[in-house]
Amino acid sequence: MKMNSELLNKNAAVNKSVKLSTKGVNLYYGNFQALRNITLDIPQCAITAVIGPSGCGKSSFLRIFNRMNDLITGARVEGQVELAGINIYDRSIDVVELRKRVGMVFQKPNPFPMSVFENVAFGPKRHGKNNVGELEDIIERSLHQAALWDEVKDKLGQSALSLSGGQQQRLCIARVLAVEPEVILMDEPCSALDPVATLKIEDLMRSLAENYTIVIVTHNMQQAARVSDTAAFLMMEEDRAGVLVEYGPTSELFTNPKDKRTEDYITGRFG
């Protein structure tokens, strides 16, 4: 019943170098423990899916990588979280610089109430890029990468809020790409979108995975099976949240789960 996560980690990372890794990570919100002793390696330039039932700590897990949990009063992380071998919870780490390297896309599309152009330019401008020509290049490149350019190239000056939900989410992806991150965290990026828009985002993720390390939280197991290379199954046991049950290549996790609980979950017996 108890799985050997060390072994699975080795399997998961066998072909690619490790981009992100956690070592014995515990996360607390005050007295509540949201993650329990999580150790895993996330491969570079691949898509890692985090699946599990609601409230099991998926989003909390995702947010340890760009230290978004720092914003929550009483949140506390134990253990090591490494980005390319560097502990990101070290006191010498500049959180702002970290978040530039580790971008995030949220559950609900959250374009800023400004023009399409300004949305994408927001990050680069904050990092000191003010040259209009340079910004235009960045915006065109980012929107191309986010597969949105053709749809918005004639309305860069329009409000981002006038775009459709799927376009808004791709705009948010472009906004993240504009600061040239290494990792993109996605917190249920399609949960507010229709199936067509969802497929577009999934295609986009596949093409982005050639150059970026992507970690996606999803409650949609078909999505995890479709897009991800490796998958982690988090669970909530009785009153214990944030238990990593199984982690490994997606194909193995879905076709030949090593843990009974994983099998039960992916076959829809609970959750």
Residue closer to other proteins (CB basis): 38 or 104: 104
What gap in Å lies between CA 259 and CA 85, rounded to an integer?
A: 29
The single residue among 108, 153, 240, 269 that binds other proteins, judged by CB under 8 A, is 108
- Taking the complex as a whole, the smallest distance from the CB of residue 19 to other proteins amounts, in Å, to 18
User: Would you say 90 or 97 has its CB closer to other proteins?
Assistant: 97
- Whole-angstrom distance, CA of residue 193 vs CA of residue 164: 10
Q: Which residues of 52-87 are buried (b: 16+ CB within 10 A; e: fewer)?
A: beeebbbbbbbbbbbbbbeeeeebebebbbbbeeee
Task: Provide the terminal-to-terminal Cα distance of the chain, rounded to the nearest Å.
Answer: 19
CB of residue 157 vs other proteins: minimum separation in angstroms?
7
99 counts as binding other proteins under rule CB under 8 A: yes
Taking each helix axis from N to C terminus, what angle separates 116-126 and 132-145, rounded to the nearest 10 degrees? Answer: 110
Number of residues that bind other proteins (CB under 8 A): 34
Q: Which is nearer to other proteins, 10 or 108 (CB)?
A: 108
The answer to whether 193 contacts other proteins (rule: CB under 8 A) is no
Residue 76 interacting with other proteins (CB under 8 A): no
Give least dist CB 60 to other proteins, A: 14
| Secondary structure (3-state) at 179 | coil
* Sequence-distant (≥ 6) Cβ neighbours of residue 48 within 8 angstroms: 42, 213, 214, 215, 216, 228, 229, 230, 231, 232
Q: Which span sits near other proteins by CB under 8 A: 23-31, 49-57, 122-130, 204-212?
A: 122-130
Contacts with other proteins in 160-179 (CB under 8 A)?
Answer: 161, 172, 175-176, 178-179
User: Which positions lie near other proteins, rule CB under 8 A?
Assistant: 66, 68, 71, 73, 96-101, 103-104, 106, 108, 110-115, 122-123, 125-127, 157-159, 161, 172, 175-176, 178-179
